Structure 1
Amino acid sequence: ELVDRMVNATKNLDYEGIFVYTRGNNMDVMQILHKRDENGEREKLLTLTGHAREIIRNNDTVTCIFPDKQEVMVERSRTQGFTSRIPETIDLIAAYYDFSTIGEERVAGRDAWVVKITPKDEFRYGYQLWIDKQNYLLLKSEMQDDEGTSLETVMFTELQLLDSIEDERFLPSISGNEFTWHQFNQHVALDENNQGANYAWQVAWIPDGFRQNSPGDRISSNTDSSMDHMIFTDGISTVSIFIERLNNVNPINNGALNMGGVNVYSTTTGNFQVTAIGEVPQPTVIRMADSVVSNR
């Protein structure tokens, strides 16, 4: 019930705040604006430290602006930050995680319940959530490995609930018209197994409970490059699969890489490079990437 109330509060209340996002040795401080009205859910994230980044979510459409790289990416996805740690529905993930309230603490000067989410298998990570006692907002989340070691932490340092937020505050501060744009274009429907039957690629092995969150996408840009993209989720953890034709320009960088709670693995199949990126243990992304087969 606590987590159900948190899901509802975090998605439906209007608020703004500052949070710290820590992964490995990296730390970002970000500002968040969140609003829900008759037009749906909107969110804006701004990095206050490190490389400039602006992320604007309008319901399921996310626009990421990278001024330093002069790039803009438009996709259908859950954005980074607090909402990426909100389970989609408790019923969906209850078969694969156990929930328990383990104590009370204070975060950002507010009293919170502490809820532990423990995976039932080795293919996903666990989580710990700090839920505001007064309004049920998520104040802090922590991704943990099977030994309870923190892999990634997102924590509010300032939080303010608002009666309303002006629409203008959700507009991008940079137009990005002169930037390189990368667009995720839907081009296939899902079959009864939640995979694209007519799609060029299929992931032959996925952990129990994971499903394809969206049909296969073709990422195109206003340059000549493109790649295929699939997203899989169990309702709280996400894995992305990218498939790109090899060329003689870019070097092949196969192998595994760890970045806090995110694992990356690249391999080749035929004339294509397959890369899996996920908030799951390394063996999971390796097994998924190695199972990618062509439907051609």
Structure 2
Amino acid sequence: MRNKNKNTFPRPGTTVFIALTWLLFQATVVFADSASEKAQMLINEMSRASHDLNYDGVLVYRCANQMNTMRIIHKAGGEGEHERLVSLTGSAREVIRDGNTVRCFFPENKAVMVEKSHAGKLISSYLPDPIERIADHYHFEIATQDRVAGRNAWVVNIIPGDNLRYGYQLWVDQDTRLMLKSELKNSDGITLEQIMFTQLEVLEQIPDSLLKPTITGADYTWYETTAKSKMEVQNSDIRWIVTWMPDGFTMSEYGKQSMSMSQVPVDHMVFTDGLAMVSIFIEKLTRDAQSAEGPSTMGGINTYAVLTGGYQVTAVGEVPMTTVRLMANSVKPRD
């Protein structure tokens, strides 16, 4: 019988793996307006393809000085999307997505983390919302052409309109419109994170057997978290407010989530502009609880923690340090 636990989840050594789970041949120069329109069209087509196509591929994820190789299998269908992500290097971890439910299997801890989230995605979490959502805060251009995983690709730049968010460079398959490669860029153009397919096959059908985990989790401890979309959240549910955030950011989810080293579930809010995402965790500190303050960075993921009124507030996201610092410092109890 599996043991259910909703308090703490042991996650040593899992940061890079989770980060992946919670985003050339020179082309002919074109005028800016037409290039921007073509780039926006490609991004919309890429977002649709990531949901509508069946594919099986191997990708490499680089973050800071760490690199992981993974296999991803995606099945589209009228009953929702299904995905399986398998780590091919390091610990034999797996992530299974069935619709909006995501299960993360950690054999080194004999643990499974289950999250029910409206934003439940694996590789497609690196893809933007429809272009209308992000067009006011980013500029778009087709930079050039390239080849990735043996496929011809357009290279699309997504350039932020301010210094409060990062830029992106996307390689879009000219045939299927799937994303073949993605790089997260800071304001100096330095690559902070990279996802790249080394093999990719688009299929008519995906057998259900390919989507089943090799780990049953029968003797594992199961940790469950839940989240509500903004539409489901009642005002009475929200105990905290974020009084500052960059233009275009809105709260997309609110809920309770288990965290390592915490004896009670913490308040968890997710904010997004349709592309960048910031999570804010608010934890009541107990007498023997470990606390942290200040900044930390891993690749493109920045974290900033502050203490306020017996609570620890932690903001984490793939945005510049200034953004998470200002958001963390702006969290206040709701009147």
TM normalised by structure 1 equals 0.92
The answer as to whether partners of 2:105 and 2:111 remain within 8 angstroms in 1 is yes
Check 1:231–1:25 CA distance in 2 against 1; reply closer, same or farther (3 A cut): same
Q: Distance in 1 between matches of 2:251 and 2:165?
A: 16
The answer as to whether partners of 1:71 and 1:180 remain within 8 angstroms in 2 is yes
Q: How far does the alpha carbon of each residue in 1:153-197 deviate from its partner, in whole angstroms, 9 at most, with x for none?
A: 000000011111112322222232443333223469659xx9956
Check 1:187–1:143 CA distance in 2 against 1; reply closer, same or farther (3 A cut): closer
Q: Is residue 108 of structure 2 the alignment partner of residue 108 of structure 1?
A: no
Q: How far does the alpha carbon of each residue in 1:69-116 deviate from its partner, in whole angstroms, 9 at most, with x for none?
A: 232222213434x31211121110011110100100111111100000
Q: Is residue 318 of structure 2 the alignment partner of residue 276 of structure 1?
A: no
The answer as to whether partners of 1:185 and 1:220 remain within 8 angstroms in 2 is no
Check 1:115–1:274 CA distance in 2 against 1; reply closer, same or farther (3 A cut): same
The answer as to whether partners of 2:54 and 2:206 remain within 8 angstroms in 1 is yes
- Tell me, what secondary structure is at the counterpart of 2:81? strand
Amino acid at match of 1:30: M
Check 1:188–1:100 CA distance in 2 against 1; reply closer, same or farther (3 A cut): closer
Aligned runs of 1:137-156 on 2, under 5 Å?
137-156=178-197
- Tell me, what secondary structure is at the counterpart of 1:235? coil
Q: Is residue 271 of structure 2 the alignment partner of residue 232 of structure 1?
A: yes
Kindly report structure 1 stretches of 4+ aligned residues shifted beyond 6 Å: none
Q: Distance in 1 between matches of 2:67 and 2:250?
A: 31
Q: Quote the residue 2:292 is aligned against.
A: 253
The answer as to whether partners of 1:188 and 1:198 remain within 8 angstroms in 2 is no
Q: Distance in 2 between matches of 1:177 and 1:274?
A: 35
Q: Distance in 2 between matches of 1:154 and 1:19?
A: 7
Q: Quote the residue 1:50 is aligned against.
A: 90
**Of the candidates 39, 57, 81, which is equivalent to residue 41 of structure 1?**
81
The answer as to whether partners of 1:196 and 1:202 remain within 8 angstroms in 2 is no
Q: Distance in 2 between matches of 1:187 and 1:8?
A: 24
TM normalised by structure 2 equals 0.82
Q: Distance in 2 between matches of 1:151 and 1:121?
A: 18
| Greater alpha carbon shift after TM alignment, 151-160 vs 60-69 | 60-69
Q: Quote the residue 2:105 is aligned against.
A: 65
Q: Quote the residue 2:216 is aligned against.
A: 175
User: Which one has a larger percent strand, Structure 1 or Structure 2?
Assistant: 1
Q: How far does the alpha carbon of each residue in 1:96-143 deviate from its partner, in whole angstroms, 9 at most, with x for none?
A: 110100100111111100000000011100000001111111100000
The runs of 5 or more residues in structure 1 that have no matched partner are none
Q: Quote the residue 1:85 is aligned against.
A: 126
- Tell me, what secondary structure is at the counterpart of 1:127? strand
Check 1:188–1:78 CA distance in 2 against 1; reply closer, same or farther (3 A cut): closer
Q: Quote the residue 1:94 is aligned against.
A: 135
User: Which one has a larger percent helix, Structure 1 or Structure 2?
Assistant: 2
TM-align CA RMSD: 2.1
Q: How many residues align?
A: 291
Check 1:197–1:128 CA distance in 2 against 1; reply closer, same or farther (3 A cut): farther
Check 1:93–1:175 CA distance in 2 against 1; reply closer, same or farther (3 A cut): same
- Tell me, what secondary structure is at the counterpart of 2:238? coil
Q: Distance in 2 between matches of 1:252 and 1:205?
A: 23
The offset of 1:225, in angstroms, is 2.8
Aligned runs of 1:117-196 on 2, under 5 Å?
117-186=158-227, 196=235
Q: Percent identity, please.
A: 44
- Tell me, what secondary structure is at the counterpart of 2:287? coil
